[in-house]
Structure 1
Amino acid sequence: MILLLLALVLVFAALIRIRMLGYPLERDEGEYAYAGQLILQGVPPYQLAYNMKLPGIYAAYALILAVFGQSPGGIHWGLLLVNAGAIVLVFALARRLFGPVAGIAAAATYALLSASQSVLGTAAHATHFVVLPALAGLLLLLQADETRALWAYFWSGVLLGVAFLMKQHGAVFVLFGFAFLFSRLLRRGPEPSTGHLARTFLFCAGVILPVGVTCILLLRAGVFDKFWFWTFSYARQYAAEASPADGWRNLGFELPHVLAYSKPLWALAGVGLLAAWSRKEQRARALYVTGFLVASVLGVCPGLYFRGHYFILLLPAIAILAGAPVGLAMRFLIEKRSPAALCYVLPALLFAIPWGRCLARQAEVFFELAPAQVCKLTYGANPFVEAPAIARYIAAHSGSDERVAILGSEPEIYFYSRRRSASGHIYMYGLMEKQPYAKRMQQEMIREIEAARPTFLLVVAIPTSWLAREESEKLLFHWYPRYLAEHYRLTGLIDIPQSGEAVYRWDDEAATYSPRSPYVVYVHRRKA
């Protein structure tokens, strides 16, 4: 029965995600897809696409593109499988801690919350790819603690190392795993041999192995300097940019959105945390899940930006805690020798009511709206719905070896068009930030574009594609109008409203059209 219920949860999650296979790529997905596409062409990360993300997510996307095809549907099939794996692991972890009924409730909770638009769950963000190996590593570490098998310590470390490679935030799960290992070894006391040292060494070696192999591969590819600059030097500046006051504002803005559809399940998780500590015999498990919760909260905090999709890292802990009171309530009723029907009905209602309310609040998104409508509802005037049409025009009017430059943060257009970027700066955000490398980055982008002489140069006149501020370096803004006037002519204009369909004007029509919206993408082609 338990496995049948788990299968039903997986079918539910799959049905939601199959409806959204055609969901347009947003810019993070576009970055990963473009980098993965380049890997399949033999181009290493950080050579033609600069970003602070670690390369694990690029490798994961390359694998998905190779298996499922280079399209949004292919990417979202990959996400469906990654999410299904995470659901099974949430079930397994909750079952180990609080019993099989808690496992089912936790799996159903994670399936629902991780698909929610409140955490941008439809998009294949790197946080989904952190969760899968992190849960597998922590589950294997629990098995290692029980069986004392040396191989399990090593492979647990490998999986947690992979979680870190998917996104820097994964480091918190490495630290949690090490803290759990260290505390358990201390509790066991001295051993007659060097067992403690061997287990610690194997775990740490496992963590280091995927990171070390990745560094060697990047060194051999000749991009290690770029990798180090973007993922450590620049990333350190990025993480330090927001002040604690900024962090509180960011959290105050984002948290209500995260909780918008799911407050009942988060409240149930709070009950679960209290219930886990309420019984003396549960204290060790309560301590574990509390530590996991703390680590997950810390995983959301780096940089104090609190992006919606960062909260995906917190969802496994919330799901397990939401399942805990269901399993504990059933156990309590059975111990009190309550009627059999009561033992099943009350825990089921305890879970079904909040879960059903959360589902009902999102029914329109899950079951009615088309993928493009959901994307527009979520991202407004960001040009994600329009990007495929722009890319088709570029692909139809350029050769496969010709370059494209985008003054804006829309790497999904490079991916769709299968054209390489004239500059490695595929995002404008770092160039607009108040950080010491901003001017150097703008100068580098200008040099790269002028050297590449791209066939198309796009200007994305949408604030969220730049996030420019008053104190931003203005060199790029002074340069590109003159460069465009001298070398390019307008051949495309996409007028994007906050809601509804965009207006596309190509070639001669573009020059005479007056945009009605302040959100416009301008497509320029190099003069003959």
Structure 2
Amino acid sequence: MHLPVFLREVWNADEAFVAVQARALDGGAGGFYEIVADRKPPLLPALYLLVHQLAGNATVWVMHGLALAAHLATALLLAAAARGRWGGRAGLVAGLLYVVGSAGLSPEDAQAANFEVFALPAVAAAVLLADRRRFAAAGGAAAVAALTLQAAGGVLLPVLWLAWRAAGRRGVLSAGGVFLAVVGAAAARVGWADFWFWVVFGNGGYTNVSGAWDRVALRGLGGLGIFLLANLGAVLLAGADRARRGRGDLWLWLVVAVAGVCTSLHFFGHYFLLLLPPVVLLAARAAATRPRLPLAPLGYGLTAAAVFVALALVWPAGKDRHAELVAERVRARTEPGAAILVWGMDPRIYWWSRRPAATRFLSAGFMTNFGGGRDASRVGERFAPEGVWRDFEADLRRRPPALVVDDSRGAPYAPDRIGRFHRYLLAGYRPVEVVDGSVLYARQPAAAGAAARLR
């Protein structure tokens, strides 16, 4: 189901984003949130960094292999959880439904080495460990999930439910205490202030949907529709189960997974992977009550997955081609090691140009609040998180880019709509080339002093 992951180096911008972060961390003096900024916890960037130190420019290819291993681990852990509760048939159903369901998204979401993919093994492990009354370890696994993706940390609630039912207050304190200790240790390692700002409190503007409710609703319904289309057999099987006992934690898990998908109100397709583990366990519970293996749901899941895998084989590479063309011209116009600035949303240009970013902010979205599923009503410098423009200016003063790539191509964050950045660009750079709609600006050394301030 996931062998197409090896058909291309980068499936989506998220992969390139974390790979560029790893490259910057490997060659820089400083830690996560200092050299690179992100709205995500630090665990997956740390894994990418480790792989980059071992594999260099083959980082993303290696991460694709690890993503495949993560899917397999999740399937096996869910199978073990189902088998422990309801027997071997339930375990087989859970594992198979996860494998086919995990391929049932847009190829850019299903085949990518995304945050969700690496969070789900810890999510499944947390529930399995709680089932086996290893509540401290379950809390630790839930913390690993949360440190990979904030929304995945919601698995702590079903873990606490299981701990309370099995061991009362002692179980809850054991699981909750270890969870808090692990998250607290990670926050201390990268810096308390930066951790809480970027992981929790600095995302208010990013999640605001003022003026875009219609777009948000359409994206949410569209993503849910694709998930249901791919997993209809599992969903119907779960709904056909008439037994009500022994599933309270699973329904709670499903509720927190839905909440996790909805948290940012951006509804990217890969978010919906969070729904899959509780759905397949609910389906496995239903399968255990039947006299025969439920071949129809399994057959439907396999058929749907085959369609999505076939899509991956022919999926167009339009964005890849654009980024490759721009990166090629960047390499031609700059020396190795020369810093560049890409004013856009796609860090693939950084990755393929093999040039370091001049700033810790790898997309213009940090400075403008632009993001998927939003219109121009809340895009602009005044909607950026507090302190971002100050840090952006400090980065550019410390490391003025030799080349600026305006990759906005008419988007709401185009330089002529962001006065502060537009003045910076005009003061220190001149346009030298247009590549597939992107404008390359070369630095004018005589104007470097004027260009150093974003005013």
- Same-fold status (TM-score > 0.5): yes
**Hey, what does 1:213 align to over in structure 2?**
185
Post-superposition shift, 1:438?
Answer: 5.3
Equivalent residue in structure 2 for 1:83, among 63, 71, 85: 71
Structure 2 matches for 1:428-467, cutoff 5 A?
428-433=364-369, 434=378, 437=384, 441-442=388-389, 444-446=391-393, 448-462=395-409
Post-superposition shift, 1:26?
Answer: 2.2
TM-score (norm 1): 0.73
**Counterpart-to-counterpart distance in 2, 1:392 and 1:74:** 23
1:164-203 per-position Cα deviation (integer Å, ceiling 9, x unaligned): 11121123112332233223334xxxxxxxxx43x33332
Alignment of 1:482 with 2:426, yes or no, is: yes
Alignment of 1:358 with 2:286, yes or no, is: no
SS at match of 1:490: strand
1:118–1:261 Cα contact (<8 Å) kept: no
2:158–2:249 Cα contact (<8 Å) kept: no
2:406–2:440 Cα contact (<8 Å) kept: yes
- How many residues are aligned here? 430
Range with greater deviation from structure 2 (160-169 or 253-262):
253-262
SS at match of 1:304: coil
**Hey, what does 1:200 align to over in structure 2?**
172
Structure 2 matches for 1:252-401, cutoff 5 A?
252-260=218-226, 263=229, 265-275=231-241, 278-279=242-243, 283-329=244-290, 333=291, 343=292, 347-348=294-295, 350-366=296-312, 368-369=313-314, 374-376=315-317, 383-395=319-331, 397-401=333-337
- In 2 relative to 1, CA 97–265 (structure 1 residues): closer, same or farther, beyond 3 Å? farther
2:166 counterpart letter in structure 1: R
Post-superposition shift, 1:57?
Answer: 1.8
**Counterpart-to-counterpart distance in 2, 1:359 and 1:122:** 12
SS at match of 1:319: helix
2:179 counterpart letter in structure 1: V
- In 2 relative to 1, CA 87–476 (structure 1 residues): closer, same or farther, beyond 3 Å? farther
- In 2 relative to 1, CA 200–447 (structure 1 residues): closer, same or farther, beyond 3 Å? closer
Equivalent residue in structure 2 for 1:423, among 336, 343, 359: 359
1:392-448 per-position Cα deviation (integer Å, ceiling 9, x unaligned): 443455344421111112223323334322122222223223465458534643453
SS at match of 2:441: strand
SS at match of 1:116: coil
**Counterpart-to-counterpart distance in 1, 2:91 and 2:401:** 54
**Hey, what does 1:165 align to over in structure 2?**
147
**Counterpart-to-counterpart distance in 2, 1:227 and 1:477:** 27
- In 2 relative to 1, CA 85–489 (structure 1 residues): closer, same or farther, beyond 3 Å? same
**Hey, what does 1:229 align to over in structure 2?**
197
TM-score (norm 2): 0.83
**Counterpart-to-counterpart distance in 1, 2:91 and 2:139:** 24
Pick the structure with greater CA Rg: 1
Alignment of 1:132 with 2:129, yes or no, is: no
**Counterpart-to-counterpart distance in 2, 1:95 and 1:251:** 38
**Counterpart-to-counterpart distance in 1, 2:85 and 2:17:** 38
1:259-285 per-position Cα deviation (integer Å, ceiling 9, x unaligned): 33752633542332341xx23xxx442
1:488 counterpart letter in structure 2: R
**Counterpart-to-counterpart distance in 2, 1:446 and 1:110:** 46
1:231-263 per-position Cα deviation (integer Å, ceiling 9, x unaligned): 233124433x125x9567524333334433752
**Counterpart-to-counterpart distance in 1, 2:119 and 2:216:** 23
1:445 counterpart letter in structure 2: F
1:351-372 per-position Cα deviation (integer Å, ceiling 9, x unaligned): 3432243134335324x42xxx
Post-superposition shift, 1:154?
Answer: 1.8
1:270 counterpart letter in structure 2: L
CA RMSD of aligned residues (A): 3.0
SS at match of 2:110: coil
1:431–1:439 Cα contact (<8 Å) kept: no
**Hey, what does 2:21 align to over in structure 1?**
35
1:209-236 per-position Cα deviation (integer Å, ceiling 9, x unaligned): 33222222223xxxx5444432233124
**Counterpart-to-counterpart distance in 1, 2:407 and 2:188:** 37
Equivalent residue in structure 1 for 2:90, among 102, 111, 116: 102
Post-superposition shift, 1:160?
Answer: 0.7
- In 2 relative to 1, CA 69–452 (structure 1 residues): closer, same or farther, beyond 3 Å? closer
- In 2 relative to 1, CA 436–257 (structure 1 residues): closer, same or farther, beyond 3 Å? closer
- In 2 relative to 1, CA 257–290 (structure 1 residues): closer, same or farther, beyond 3 Å? closer
- In 2 relative to 1, CA 75–438 (structure 1 residues): closer, same or farther, beyond 3 Å? same
- In 2 relative to 1, CA 494–254 (structure 1 residues): closer, same or farther, beyond 3 Å? farther
Structure 2 matches for 1:184-199, cutoff 5 A?
184-186=166-168, 196-197=169-170, 199=171
Equivalent residue in structure 1 for 2:209, among 242, 245, 259: 242
Post-superposition shift, 1:139?
Answer: 0.7
Post-superposition shift, 1:468?
Answer: 4.0
1:407–1:457 Cα contact (<8 Å) kept: yes
Post-superposition shift, 1:294?
Answer: 1.4
1:218 counterpart letter in structure 2: V
2:31 counterpart letter in structure 1: P
**Hey, what does 1:525 align to over in structure 2?**
442
**Counterpart-to-counterpart distance in 1, 2:206 and 2:230:** 35
- In 2 relative to 1, CA 97–462 (structure 1 residues): closer, same or farther, beyond 3 Å? farther
- In 2 relative to 1, CA 457–114 (structure 1 residues): closer, same or farther, beyond 3 Å? same
Post-superposition shift, 1:55?
Answer: 0.9
**Counterpart-to-counterpart distance in 2, 1:440 and 1:291:** 38
**Counterpart-to-counterpart distance in 2, 1:181 and 1:247:** 39
2:435 counterpart letter in structure 1: I
Identity %: 20
1:291 counterpart letter in structure 2: L
Structure 1's unaligned 5+ residue stretches are: 1-12, 145-151, 187-195, 334-342, 496-519
**Counterpart-to-counterpart distance in 2, 1:397 and 1:325:** 61
1:32-82 per-position Cα deviation (integer Å, ceiling 9, x unaligned): 112222333354111232221111121122233345553332221121111
- In 2 relative to 1, CA 183–47 (structure 1 residues): closer, same or farther, beyond 3 Å? same
